[in-house]
Amino acid sequence: MDRPGGTDTAETGGGGDASREPGAEHVEPSPPSRAEPSPDSGKRRRLLHVTLPGCWGALVLACLSFTPSLLPRGGILQGLICGISAAIGYGLAVVVAYVWRAFADRDARSASRRSWLVLLLSAIVLFGLSFGLGQYWQHEIRALMGVTDYNVLTAAACPFVAALVFYLLLLAGRGIRSLYRWAARLLGRWIGRRAARAVGWLLVAGLAWSAFTGLLLGGFVNAANEAFSLRDTQTPEGVHQPTSALRSGGPGSLVPWDSLGRQGRAFTGSGPSARDIGAFTHRAAQQPIRAYAGLATSDDAETRAARAVADLERAGGFERENLLVMTTTGSGWVDPAAVDSFEYLGNGDSATVAMQYSYLPSWLSYLVDQSKAREAGRELFDAVYDTWSKLPQDQRPRLFVAGESLGSFGGETAFSGEYDLRNRTAGTLLVGPPNFNTLFREFSDHRDAGSPEIKPVYKEGRTVRFTDDPATGIPPTDQPWDGTRVLYLMHPSDPIVWWSPQLALSKPEWIGEAPGRDVLQAMVWMPFVTFWQVTADLPFSTDVPDGHGHTYKAAYVDGWNAVMRPAGFTAQDLDRLKDIIWPETEPTATGP
């Protein structure tokens, strides 16, 4: 057991009770002045003890965790990241110390009181300096994004949260180590000691992984599904069943109102009217068509897509000038800014079809529902395309595809590449694409030489282009962009776009490049630390003003204007449309 002034053998598996000589008959009694420690006090010391190398590793990574990432973060979140980083640093340092002693062929030595005093003084200075720099960097990020919220109390709570998280993770690690030792002793009765250790590690690692992925993660996802399925039966405040036959759930619809789900009812029960659109365009406008199918509409994705398309056809969707296939986020949410902008710029002569594939909110679906998004995107587009392709060429609507976040992932899955997108659509708008999107990665990884990852140029921008702000120009501005246009919108500070498991051990190119307009120059990549920083950004990616993080509002107006190329709209008209769209895209109970 190691503690200040002790050894670190207990942390790495060394040490043990000395065995008594066989045949020994006399046992020296303990000195009367020295009390025998109770078993409980020994257990407490084993739980609380730490090693000197481990503490240095924990201190280094804890201090580095205060460096900036993509989004501003409060004190509680910073404490969580700091505690996780410190636990990782502790474990790495203990392993390094153990390996070094093995190569040096020596046992662990007692750490002197002077060594612990040096650590304590260093921790006070380094942690205090890092905490202060962290507060400064967070202020700079908030200034870049126009965030004014700041809570002094949560900032002050950061070190305490970090200490609690660190200790809980340390206990968890020691629990796993104790389980390993028990398994190794048990196996040692039948096999050799080295083999028992190796097999014991494999058994414990497999058991821990199975428990996390099968029991803990699976149980969490099932519980979340149950909870959010109850919410899916509700209707958002202010939303009413449509009285128009042009909406799913309305008169004559093939999809019952009750089967649409919460987000489906919000989608078909809202949106601009013909009068609203006409007031903007100053022309006679049509009432847009919206078709939708919820999880309760059908048990499988193929049948659900067929029902949505049948209702679209019933309402006359294939007779409109513009037809949009919209892949939703996990809960079935469709960003009002995406569809409303499409309908206004099309003067209402449009139809949109979408369907739900999960009960889970967007950030959770992003982690666990990728296969459902892939299936939904492919099935819905294929069902639409099957009907659309059978129409006479001069009677087909212009076919568009769109998706945000996980919806962009689903929207991509119906296509094999650039030429497929160009040949089967009139245009595509994909917003905030996750880093694992197949086509997004293909276009970004094979970008033209010299173009940065945060704004890549693919094949001189002939079909596919990327931008963080379509209002300021879409590179390459000196090259023609004829025919079908495929546009990706992605903010430099959007963690959905940049998060990847590879961040743990591999430096991405976008961090080594010049930072984007809303990312600090001080952001650097560090093993493990950066991964947890960006991971912690994910659930809060929409809690920032428009134009930053995963919040895309006004960009939809300029994005659709670039993809659809409607005639007769000036820059002033587009600004006026942004003012119309803005109130409808504020975060509400109908959001993801």
Q: Are residues 68 and 123 in the same domain?
A: yes
Q: Could you give the number of structural domains in the chain?
A: 2
Asked, for residue 267, whether it belongs to a domain, the answer is yes
Q: Which helix (H) or strand (E) holds 377?
A: helix 370-389
Lowest-pLDDT choice from 327-331, 340-344, 408-412: 327-331
- CA dist., res. 140 & res. 68, Å (int): 9
Q: What is the mean pLDDT of the chain?
A: 86
Q: pLDDT class for 219, splitting at 50, 70, 90?
A: low
State which amino acid sits at residue 93: A
**Statement: residue 435 has pLDDT above 70:** yes
**Statement: residue 232 has pLDDT above 90:** no
* pLDDT of 559: 97
Q: Which two tokens stand for residue 123?
A: 């921790």
pLDDT tens per residue, range 554-582: 999 999 999 999 998 999 999 999 999 87
Q: Are residues 161 and 262 in the same domain?
A: no
Asked, for residue 14, whether it belongs to a domain, the answer is no
* pLDDT of 423: 96
Asked, for residue 36, whether it belongs to a domain, the answer is no
3-state secondary structure of 324: strand
Cis bond upstream, residue 592 (ω within 30): no
Asked, for residue 192, whether it belongs to a domain, the answer is no
Name the residue range of residue 162's domain: 1-9+41-187+507-540
Task: List 343's β-bridge partners, or say none.
Answer: none
* pLDDT of 208: 72
Q: Are residues 445 and 551 in the same domain?
A: yes
Averaged over 88-110, what is the pLDDT? 87
Q: Are residues 513 and 552 in the same domain?
A: no
Q: Are residues 85 and 3 in the same domain?
A: yes
Q: Are residues 378 and 415 in the same domain?
A: yes
Q: Are residues 569 and 449 in the same domain?
A: yes
Q: What is the pTM of this model?
A: 0.84
The 3 state secondary structure assigned to 16-56 is CCCCCCCCCCCCCCCCCCCCCCCHHHHHHHHHHCCCHHHHH
Q: Are residues 532 and 563 in the same domain?
A: no
Higher pLDDT, 15 or 523: 523
